Amino acid sequence: MITKEQILEIITQKIEADGCFIVEVKVSTANKITVLIDSMDGISIDYCIQISRLIESSFDREEEDFELEVSTPGLGQPLKVLDQYKKNIGREVEVTPFENAPFKGTLMEVNDADFLVKEEKKVKIEGKKKKELKVFNRNYKFDEVKSVKIIVSF
C-alpha cells in the first residue's frame, strides 16, 4: 500500500522549490490518493497535472493500483495550514471557535501561534436608541478554533 510519507517524499522538494505549499495529503485504505496544493498566487491546472505525473511516474501500476487526485482546496473549505492563513490576510472569514458562537470578520494578522480577526458588529449602547457599529479585534490560537473558512462574495 502507498503511504502518505511516500507521497510527501516524492512531491515536497518540487512543490517547495516552485514556491508552492502542500495543504493536505491523504491516502485511503482503497489506495485513493488526494493531494491538495496551493501557492500565494494560486495554482494552474497544468501545475496540478505536473504534480500528478510526478507521483504517477514514481509508482508501477502493474504492482499497485491507485486512484490519484491532485487539486487545490475547494472554495468554502476550512483553512488547514499556516500558509493558507497568510495568503488570505485581508479577506473576510467565518471563524468557528470551540468555546463561542461563529462570527464573521476580516483576517488581519497571522503568525506561527495565532491569528487576529477584526469583527464589526452593531451593538446596543446604553442610553441610546440606535445600535452603533463597533470594532472588535479577536485574537485566537489555531487550536482554539474548530474552523476558519473564507467567505466568497460574488
Q: Tell me the CATH number at 40.
A: 3.30.300.70
Q: Given this model, what pLDDT does residue 39 score?
A: 96
Q: Given this model, what pLDDT does residue 76 score?
A: 85
Provide the 8-state DSSP code for 125.
P
The segments of the chain whose pLDDT lies below 50 read none
At residue 135, what is the residue type? V
Q: From the CB of residue 105, how many other CB atoms can be counted at a distance below 10 Å? A: 20
Give the structural domain span for 43: 4-71
Q: From the CB of residue 56, how many other CB atoms can be counted at a distance below 10 Å? A: 15
Between CA 8 and CA 23 the distance in angstroms is: 11
48 in a structural domain: yes
Q: Given this model, what pLDDT does residue 64 score?
A: 87
pLDDT mean across residues, the chain: 94
59 in a structural domain: yes
